[in-house]
């Protein structure tokens, strides 16, 4: 399993050790095609769906039982690590290959999925893969969304070989999934701090993602007096600082982040006329998350009014906090006890594809430690023996559902 993880990391590899696989780009396509071939080598029935998710199926012999789906996402953030998403895809794929080789045909089908995109790193449409499978994402209204280079989603899909016409709005939606189990790196430092090998996720925080566009007047930097400016960047900067201040006042577990800010047509001798930035707001409590978001947007509008700027906000994602399934979580705990692995229960501050499955089928997550809690960085790292402990736990749980 470990060498397969290194193999997958070669797709989109950068010299500094980072990995970049953005939706529908060449490294992304090569990785998905290579994973499909690897799944076939393992004896799984492998295929793409209409939006680029890759499935590998270990067919069961009792058709009345709903399949259990396991997997994660193949895409990365820009210059990310080699474990986020990829570990879940590889561990799940190798687990099904192992179960097939040792135990043969399961009673219920077991499927691995490599979701085409979860991060929202290229287009502001996080969970594009699992969102389509669960019906949260639709082609309608998304197909003309553009990436920072101005390439639309439909152009990118066609470029990668996926058709976009006559597909309907939900060409990849599934209604048949019996349960979803995802193994993932923790991307935090709790397991390391508590010296635990396995995290059993209790819940995934809610998440709101917005794009904010601030407009003023671009003007000459030399001839426009300070008192006569409508400076979109100065206004956006005040909004960024206020976002941090309000989040600090709100207190944990709320977090609010401006991860990307872009000065449109930015030039050193021009007063900025247009700025676009992103907002990422998370909380374990949906009502508090929504209330904070409303309060923050009210404040940002006040700043815009005072500065005679305009502000537009687009909500790209509104994912509710989701509790994980206690029954499957109990199976994970039983597996850890059987092997003598140290485990603990904890919430996830990171979003995951399991967040979209939680409302429609029993879903659970297994975490393995992240060294120093670092993720979304080339320094993301998990010890090989910890990766194997997670793999053994996943195999044990999938065995129960497939053969038990």
Q: Which residues would be at the binding site for ligand HGY (CB under 6 A)?
A: 118-119, 350-351
Spatial contact of 96 and 401, defined as CB atoms under 8 Å apart = no
- Does residue 269 have a known ligand-binding role? yes
Q: Is 170 annotated as a binding residue?
A: no
Angle among Cα 141, 146, 148 to the nearest 5 degrees reads 150
Cβ proximity to ligand HGY: between 289 and 336 the closer is: 289
Residue closer to ligand HGY, measured from CB, 334 or 377:
377
61 labeled binding residue: no
Is the alpha carbon torsion for 166, 168, 172, 178 positive or negative? negative
Overall size of the chain counted in residues: 404
Helix 286-306 vs helix 232-250: angle between axes, to the nearest 10 degrees?
A: 150
Can you tell me the distance from the alpha carbon of 159 to that of 85, in angstroms, rounded to the nearest whole number? 24
Say which residues have a Cβ less than 8 Å from residue 217's Cβ, sequence separation at least 6. Answer: 229, 230, 271, 273
Instruction: Check binding of 117 to Mn ion (CB under 5 A).
Output: no
Task: Tell the smallest beta-carbon distance from residue 89 to ligand HGY (Å).
Answer: 14
Task: Give whichever of 350 and 387 is closer to ligand HGY, judged by the CB atom.
Answer: 350
Q: Nearer to ligand HGY by C-beta: 239 or 281?
A: 281
351 binds, among Mn ion, ligand HGY, none (CB under 5 to 8 A by kind): ligand HGY
**99 vs 183, beta carbon nearer ligand HGY:** 183
In the complex, the smallest distance separating the C-beta of residue 293 from Mn ion, rounded to whole angstroms, is: 8
Binding of Mn ion at residue 290 (CB under 5 A)?
yes
Q: Where are the beta strands (DSSP E) in 87-224?
A: 110-115, 179-185, 198-204, 206-215, 219-220
Give min distance, CB of 288 to ligand HGY, in A: 18
Q: 290 touches which of Mn ion, ligand HGY, none (CB within 5 to 8 A by kind)?
A: Mn ion
Nearest-Å Rg of the Cα atoms of the chain is: 22
CB-nearer residue toward Mn ion: 206 or 362: 206
- CB count within 10 Å of CB 103 equals 12
Minimum CB distance to Mn ion, residue 126 (Å): 9
Q: Is 306 flagged in the annotation as binding?
A: no
Closest distance to Mn ion from the beta carbon of 340 (Å): 28
Residues that contact Mn ion, how many (by CB under 5 A): 4
Q: Is 120 in the site for Mn ion (CB under 5 A)?
A: no
166 annotated to bind ligand: no
For the CB of residue 130, give the shortest distance to ligand HGY in the complex, in Å.
11
Exposed e or buried b per residue across 285-322, where buried means at least 16 C-beta atoms within 10 angstroms of its C-beta: ebeebbebbeebbeebeebbeebebbbeeeebbbbbbb
Contact 280, 259 (CB under 8 A): yes
Task: Pick the closer one to ligand HGY by CB: 109 or 375.
Answer: 375
Site for Mn ion in 61-100 (CB under 5 A): 84-85
Classify residue 226 by its DSSP letter. G
Residue 220 annotated as lining a ligand binding site: no
Give the position of tokens 């201040």.
Answer: 245
C-alpha distance from residue 19 to each of 76, 82, 216, 291, 383 (Å): 7, 6, 37, 36, 18
Q: Of the two residues 206 and 402, which places its CB atom closer to Mn ion in the complex?
A: 206
3-class state of residue 271 by DSSP: strand
User: Residue 130, SS3?
Assistant: helix
Question: Per the annotation, does 282 bind a ligand?
Answer: yes
Residues forming the annotated binding site for allantoate? 209, 269, 282
Residues forming the annotated binding site for Zn(2+)? 73, 84, 119, 184, 376
Residues forming the annotated binding site? 73, 84, 119, 184, 209, 269, 282, 376
- Which chain residues interact with Mn ion by CB under 5 A? 84-85, 286, 290
């Amino acid at each position: 399993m470990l060498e397969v993880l290194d193999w997958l990391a070669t797709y989109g590899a950068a010299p500094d050790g980072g990995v970049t696989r953005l939706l529908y780009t060449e490294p992304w396509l090569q990785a998905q095609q290579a994973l499909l071939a690897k799944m076939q080598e393992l004896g799984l029935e492998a295929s793409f769906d209409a939006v680029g998710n890759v499935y590998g199926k270990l067919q069961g012999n009792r058709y009345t039982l709903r399949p259990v789906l396991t997997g994660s996402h193949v895409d990365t953030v820009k210059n990310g690590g080699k474990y986020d998403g990829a570990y879940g895809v590889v561990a799940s794929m190798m687990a099904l290959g192992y179960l097939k080789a040792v135990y043969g045909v399961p009673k219920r089908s077991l499927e691995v999925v490599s979701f085409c995109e979860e991060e929202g790193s290229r287009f502001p449409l996080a969970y594009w893969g699992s969102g389509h499978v669960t019906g949260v994402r639709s082609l309608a209204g998304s197909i003309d969304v553009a990436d920072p280079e101005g390439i639309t989603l439909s152009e990118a899909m066609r470029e990668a070989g996926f058709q976009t016409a006559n597909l309907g709005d939900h060409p990849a939606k599934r209604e048949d999934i019996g349960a979803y189990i995802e193994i993932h790196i923790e991307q935090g430092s709790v397991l390391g701090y508590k010296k635990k090998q396995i995290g059993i996720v209790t819940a995934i925080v809610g998440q709101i993602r917005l794009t904010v566009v601030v407009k003023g007047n671009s003007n000459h930097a030399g001839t426009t007096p300070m008192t006569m400016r409508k400076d979109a960047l100065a206004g956006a900067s005040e909004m960024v600082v206020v976002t941090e201040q309000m989040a600090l006042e709100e207190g944990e577990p709320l977090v609010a982040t401006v991860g990307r800010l872009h000065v449109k047509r930015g030039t050193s001798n021009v007063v900025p006329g247009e700025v676009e930035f992103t907002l990422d707001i998370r909380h374990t409590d949906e009502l508090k998350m929504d209330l904070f978001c409303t309060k923050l947007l009210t404040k940002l509008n006040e700043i815009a009014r005072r500065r005679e700027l305009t502000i537009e906000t687009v909500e790209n994602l509104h994912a509710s906090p989701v509790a994980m399934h206690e029954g499957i979580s109990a199976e994970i705990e039983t597996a850890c006890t059987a092997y003598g692995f140290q485990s603990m229960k904890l919430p996830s501050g990171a979003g995951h594809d399991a967040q979209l499955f939680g409302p429609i089928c029993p879903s659970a997550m297994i975490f393995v430690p992240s060294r120093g809690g670092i993720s979304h960085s080339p320094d993301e790292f998990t010890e090989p023996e910890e990766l194997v402990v997670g793999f053994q736990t996943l195999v044990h749980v999938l065995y129960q559902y497939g053969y038990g």
